[in-house]
Structure 1
């Protein structure tokens, strides 16, 4: 990666002082050269877990697809349509190569808000999402899950990876705490808000909200991504099945 491929500090500052949608429109041309893009090992581990646990699936949706990295997962585990939805026109434009992938039928993209998915009821067998949930406040989580529940067929799967939280007192713990604190200060003094938090989706609360929405929830370790010192996995796949 060259320096010109990475976003500069002024570019990141301009993004952070914009709305979420405008910020991603601005960042889109360089997004895949940042650490915000979901790493390939996470995508590969997710695809492997879905292949061995319920796949293959029919129609698949990548929720908040960004530049389309998650479409690789749908391409590996779905036999029919692969659809990506995102509210950033800039990100969808950068995703064009992903949607041109040679798989029948060809994937397609839809610009829409995740709170108002423009699909008929029971349209998909699988919904995945990668790295987008920090943009949703805890109060929004039940509504987001209801949208996913609506577009899934009975017995359909909603799957997304969740990393184990860093241990209190570690450098990673303080780093995420500082980031979230800085975002709260920014949003208190600047408009429009830019919603992005790392510590607002604890697993226990996520699981409870999924169950209340009408999902059965299972956790699948992703051992390819390593283990912590106590032997627990660094990352799990949350697999929510529509009752």
Structure 2
């Protein structure tokens, strides 16, 4: 799973026993050499799905990490591109990789923008927020967008209960819950706390008009349904 340039088992253990912010500060120099970085295939599929809705003006990557989402924003946005994250270490890596973008350190549950962007994206971040925290996150993105602006992020289809992947994710979430029950600071990272319908409901409650489109580049499951969908949350004009 990890390249020779990636973190050691010891480094991963230290990260897992830290807070989310400090854990990512520690992991940042080697993050792009781990499976946790958003895969290029998912970035390309998202860009392809968004292209018919563009071009856009200014773009925002919410929970940007080391800046992989710029591969989606830059080809689609004619204006400035900005990434926001609360990990100073991840932002430092992002600045080195994408010096032509703007980077802002902030807690995305309290985004410091108002009516500043036409497109916002996010990749792999929802698991870092408990369900009770999503309304503040989505309200902040809504506020950051201009009227008519679009918030887009991919979400995978749930694996069937008969698959190994289903039980692996269930086991991971169970381990994280036990860890957070007995160890402080907590490290919030769950895979099964953001089902599509619950996310749609929270987006609608924040004021968005919500649709989805299949990420056809990712293929289909055995039953013919898409492996992933792009959630499209539009701030009304």
TM-score normalized by the length of structure 2: 0.97
Match of 2:185?
192
Q: 138, 151, 156: which one pairs with 1:158?
A: 151
Q: 1-side partners of 2:48 and 2:189: how far apart?
A: 29
1:190-229 equivalences in 2 (<5 Å): 190-229=183-222
Q: 1-side partners of 2:144 and 2:171: how far apart?
A: 36
Q: 1-side partners of 2:64 and 2:2: how far apart?
A: 25
Q: 2-side partners of 1:127 and 1:198: how far apart?
A: 22
Q: 2-side partners of 1:60 and 1:195: how far apart?
A: 27
- Would you say 1:116 and 2:115 are equivalent positions? no
Match of 1:68?
67
Q: 2-side partners of 1:51 and 1:98: how far apart?
A: 24
Match of 1:79?
78
Q: 2-side partners of 1:139 and 1:2: how far apart?
A: 33
1:80-95 equivalences in 2 (<5 Å): 80-95=79-94
Alpha-carbon distance, 1:99 to partner: 2.0
Alpha-carbon distance, 1:98 to partner: 3.2
Q: 2-side partners of 1:240 and 1:111: how far apart?
A: 24
Match of 1:103?
none
Q: Structure 1 residues 98, 3: closer, same or farther in 2, change over 3 A?
A: closer
Unaligned runs of 5+ in 1: 101-105
SS at match of 2:72: helix
Match of 1:47?
47
Contact 1:99/1:109, CA 8 A, preserved across alignment: no
- The size of the alignment, in residue pairs, is 236
Unaligned runs of 5+ in 2: none
Q: 2-side partners of 1:97 and 1:163: how far apart?
A: 30
Q: 206, 222, 233: which one pairs with 1:240?
A: 233
- Aligned residues: CA RMSD: 1.2
TM-score normalized by the length of structure 1: 0.95
Cα deviation 1:21-57 (Å, max 9, x = unaligned): 00000001110011100000110111111111x1000
Match of 2:141?
148
- Greater CA drift, 201-210 or 89-98: 89-98
Match of 2:23?
23
Alpha-carbon distance, 1:17 to partner: 0.2
Q: 1-side partners of 2:188 and 2:212: how far apart?
A: 27
